[in-house]
Chain A
């Protein structure tokens, strides 16, 4: 079954600290993997997208990694800011048009 699991479900960190969010998937055949940020009351906004041949992609303080062999991805946030408080969603595409969304990790950054 094509599934995407994210961990942890929620995370609280202090402003300025780093954190890493995890995504494991069983989707096959794999097309690409994306990370989205979703602020409360808003739609998801794309952070990164990686294809099978890419194992890292950065967007400012956000760095995503992909290990297609173990079917794992991580999103690393450096020097967190209060505005990083949001849900982070991992999305895996397969069969060109099908996508599976993880349930998300709720990140809270405290001053």
Chain B
């Protein structure tokens, strides 16, 4: 079966750095997405990785290793507004998205 694993919840301190991991086992691979979802709101797109390596976008970076079935989202200089759930999703060989359950990130002052 297809599976996406990510931690259920993480806690970090304002101003610090946090890394949210995502491991996957899917039928084929056509890219990995990270979305941010604030409570009660719609997910919003953060990043897309299809090749190995690091993609940096401001305070957020996303890394992919296809051989290891592994990605992480790195958030720097954490702000209170970064408190949200972070969803990892993989596009399989049929171009369908397989979603992880999300990681709830709690930022403490």
Q: Are A and B subunits of one complex?
A: no
